[in-house]
């Protein structure tokens, strides 16, 4: 039999209240516990995120290599002291403020008393073989522009080579536009299969260039030769190129042809002139619009010395001084050698071209721009000729202070393309 305890009503209610209080305290404790657990979970999630972020940051700081304390010319500006970080073939970080290396790396390269510059660009070449592209790359010329390729079937081959670390990047105009008995016939004894061009033929020609995956349009003009384009065809070539957002690069060797090409809207003139001096009035016209010229001074100077043809009425100094006048007028100079014309090589002869620009009065930084950022702007190639975070690690390390002595260009210590050392 169960035993019961008899209590009064007042005592019962006292116990009831106590029970409710106890239950409330317990419930509050439980609820508080849940809140604490929730808060702990939130805090743990947050801390996990921070930890993962820190791990990620730490991992991102594991660089392939770092060039420390180097003088940097990035294509636009000069920095006396910089650390350049490379990871996975890209420029991961550039630090121009700190001298201390920030992060881990596989190996460190001292940049003391050295200069780092972007991969050079030769804006006027005619490569004949893969060796030409390889030689250029090893000389720090990591991009070449081919201004005439008769065999357009070889364009894909050269472009594939250009994607590899050991070869220069490759851009081309393909065969170019010419009259039957004009420049191509005169220089390489071949006839352009597209010549002569009608207005309708111009449209087909440009369409076929795009099909051949050219990067710009080349037009030939030389008033010394038996045939040249009519004004209407020349203008049509320029307008159709621009319609397809391609730059119009025009061959010229005489001043009057260069003036004609400028007047009719050419974007880039390939070759300076050797026949007469540009007038101040004409120069003022050239100042009025964005315009580029590839002088190829070395080939002109070389031909003048060796052959001294009658059409070369300017002296060596006059030809060089003409480029100085263009430079002072604000015309953008773009470096090109025209190799292998006159047996010029794809390596050190390009350095000689740059030295001639220095003789013309260009500052060292502007000489370097002519072979880096200027051709990129002229041909609208945004990711070449510049050292910038996120871009391909394409650069040249030079012994000495190149910005104070242009001859240091011959003292290349190493060359990288896509983060791979190729010299």
What's the CA gap between 264 and 337, in Å, rounded?
25
**Does residue 414 lie within any of the structural domains?**
no
Answer yes or no: do 218 and 73 share one domain: no
pLDDT band at 18; cut points 50, 70, 90: very low
CA 11 to chain centre: 93
**Does residue 396 lie within any of the structural domains?**
no
As a whole number, mean pLDDT of residues 191-195 equals 82
As a whole number, mean pLDDT of residues 30-58 equals 46
Could you give the strand order of the β-sheet that contains 332-333, starting from the edge strand earlier in sequence?
Answer: 217-220, 248-251, 268-270, 292-294, 332-333
Give the H/E segment covering residue 220. strand 217-220
Check whether 65 has a pLDDT greater than 70.
Answer: yes
What's the CA gap between 319 and 185, in Å, rounded?
26
As a whole number, mean pLDDT of residues 236-257 equals 96
Answer yes or no: do 65 and 55 share one domain: no
Percent of the chain predicted with pLDDT > 90: 74
Answer yes or no: do 101 and 142 share one domain: no
Final residue before a domain boundary, out of 69, 96, 115: 115
Express the helix, strand and coil content of the chain in percent, nearest 5 each: 40, 20, 40
Check whether 27 has a pLDDT greater than 70.
Answer: no
Give pLDDT tens digits for 265-311: 999 999 999 999 999 999 999 998 888 999 999 999 999 999 999 99
Answer yes or no: do 101 and 247 share one domain: no
Check whether 37 has a pLDDT greater than 50.
Answer: no
Q: What is the pLDDT of residue 319?
A: 97
**Does residue 411 lie within any of the structural domains?**
no
Answer yes or no: do 150 and 297 share one domain: yes
Answer yes or no: do 320 and 271 share one domain: yes
Answer yes or no: do 31 and 73 share one domain: no
CATH classification at residue 85 = 2.30.40.10
**Does residue 327 lie within any of the structural domains?**
yes
**Does residue 402 lie within any of the structural domains?**
no
Answer yes or no: do 291 and 307 share one domain: yes
What's the CA gap between 222 and 225, in Å, rounded?
6
pLDDT band at 51; cut points 50, 70, 90: very low
CATH classification at residue 361 = 3.20.20.140
Give the H/E segment covering residue 104. strand 104-110
pTM of the model: 0.85
As a whole number, mean pLDDT of residues 51-56 equals 42
Residues found in the chain: 423
Of residues 100 and 89, more confidently modeled: 89
**For residue 204, what are its two tokens?**
């087909």
**For residue 118, what are its two tokens?**
């972007």
For the chain, the domain total comes to: 3
Return the closest-CA partner of residue 416 out of 85, 123, 155.
Answer: 85
Residue 366 burial (CB < 10 Å; 0-12/13-18/19+)? middle
Answer yes or no: do 228 and 85 share one domain: no
Q: CB–CB of 251/293 below 8 Å?
A: no
Check whether 233 has a pLDDT greater than 80.
Answer: yes
| Residues spanned by the domain of 19 | 1-59
Q: CB–CB of 270/333 below 8 Å?
A: no
Give the H/E segment covering residue 22. helix 9-60
**Does residue 370 lie within any of the structural domains?**
yes
What's the CA gap between 93 and 104, in Å, rounded?
13
Answer yes or no: do 190 and 338 share one domain: yes
pLDDT band at 7; cut points 50, 70, 90: very low
Percent of the chain predicted with pLDDT > 70: 86
Check whether 86 has a pLDDT greater than 80.
Answer: yes
Residues facing residue 332 across a β-bridge: 292
Q: What is the pLDDT of residue 416?
A: 98
Answer yes or no: do 250 and 149 share one domain: yes
Residue 216 burial (CB < 10 Å; 0-12/13-18/19+)? buried
Contacts of residue 293, Cβ cutoff 8 Å, sequence gap at least 6: 258, 268, 269, 272, 326, 331, 332, 333, 334
Final residue before a domain boundary, out of 42, 59, 76: 59
Q: What is the pLDDT of residue 2?
A: 37
**Does residue 2 lie within any of the structural domains?**
yes
Residue-by-residue DSSP string for 114-163 = EEEEEPEEEEEE---SHHHHHHHHHTTEEEEEES--S-GGGHHHHHHHHT
Give pLDDT tens digits for 373-411: 999 999 999 899 999 999 999 999 999 999 999 999 999
As a whole number, mean pLDDT of residues 18-23 equals 49
pLDDT band at 355; cut points 50, 70, 90: very high
Distance separating the N- and C-terminal Cα atoms of the chain: 104
Answer yes or no: do 150 and 226 share one domain: yes
Give pLDDT tens digits for 301-327: 999 999 999 999 999 999 999 999 999
Return the closest-CA partner of residue 341 out of 372, 297, 309.
Answer: 297
Final residue before a domain boundary, out of 39, 59, 79: 59
**Does residue 420 lie within any of the structural domains?**
no
pLDDT band at 31; cut points 50, 70, 90: low
Check whether 45 has a pLDDT greater than 90.
Answer: no
């Amino acid at each position: 039999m169960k035993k019961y305890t008899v209590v009064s009503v007042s005592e019962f209610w006292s116990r009831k209240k106590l029970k409710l209080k106890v239950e409330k305290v317990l419930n509050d404790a439980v609820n508080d516990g849940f809140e604490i657990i929730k808060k702990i979970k939130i805090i743990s999630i947050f801390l996990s995120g921070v930890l993962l972020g820190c791990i990620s940051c730490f991992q991102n700081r594991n660089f392939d290599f770092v060039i420390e304390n180097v003088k940097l010319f990035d294509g636009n500006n000069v920095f006396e002291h910089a650390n350049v970080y490379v990871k996975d073939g890209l420029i991961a970080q550039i630090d121009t403020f700190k001298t201390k290396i920030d992060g881990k790396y596989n190996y460190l390269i001292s940049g003391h008393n050295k200069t780092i510059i972007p991969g050079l660009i030769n804006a006027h070449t005619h490569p004949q073989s893969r060796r030409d592209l390889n030689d250029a790359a090893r000389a720090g010329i990591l991009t070449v522009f081919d201004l005439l390729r008769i065999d357009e079937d070889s364009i894909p081959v050269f472009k594939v080579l250009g994607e590899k670390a050991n070869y220069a990047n490759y851009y081309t105009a393909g065969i170019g536009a010419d009259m039957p008995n004009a420049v191509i016939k005169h220089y390489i004894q071949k006839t352009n299969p597209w010549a002569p061009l009608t207005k309708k033929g111009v449209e087909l020609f440009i369409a076929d260039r795009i099909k051949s995956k050219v990067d710009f349009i080349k037009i030939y003009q030389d008033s010394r030769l038996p045939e040249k384009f009519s004004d209407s065809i020349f203008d049509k070539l320029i307008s159709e190129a621009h319609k397809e957002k391609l730059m119009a690069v025009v061959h010229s060797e005489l001043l009057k042809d260069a003036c004609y090409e400028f007047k009719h809207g050419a974007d880039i003139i390939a070759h300076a002139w050797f026949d007469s001096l540009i007038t101040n009035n004409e120069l003022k016209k050239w100042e009025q619009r964005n315009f580029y010229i590839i002088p190829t001074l070395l080939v002109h100077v070389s031909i003048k010395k060796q052959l001294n043809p009658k059409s070369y009425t300017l002296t060596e100094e006059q030809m060089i001084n003409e480029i100085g006048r263009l430079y002072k007028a604000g015309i953008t100079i773009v470096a090109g050698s025209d190799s292998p014309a006159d047996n010029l090589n794809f390596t050190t002869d390009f350095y000689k071209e740059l030295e001639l620009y220095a003789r013309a009065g260009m500052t060292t930084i502007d000489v370097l721009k002519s072979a880096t950022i200027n051709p990129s702007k002229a041909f609208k190639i945004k990711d070449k000729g510049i050292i910038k975070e996120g871009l391909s690690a394409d650069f040249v390390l030079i012994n000495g202070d190149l910005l104070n002595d242009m001859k240091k260009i011959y003292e290349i210590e190493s060359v990288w393309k896509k983060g791979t050392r190729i010299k």
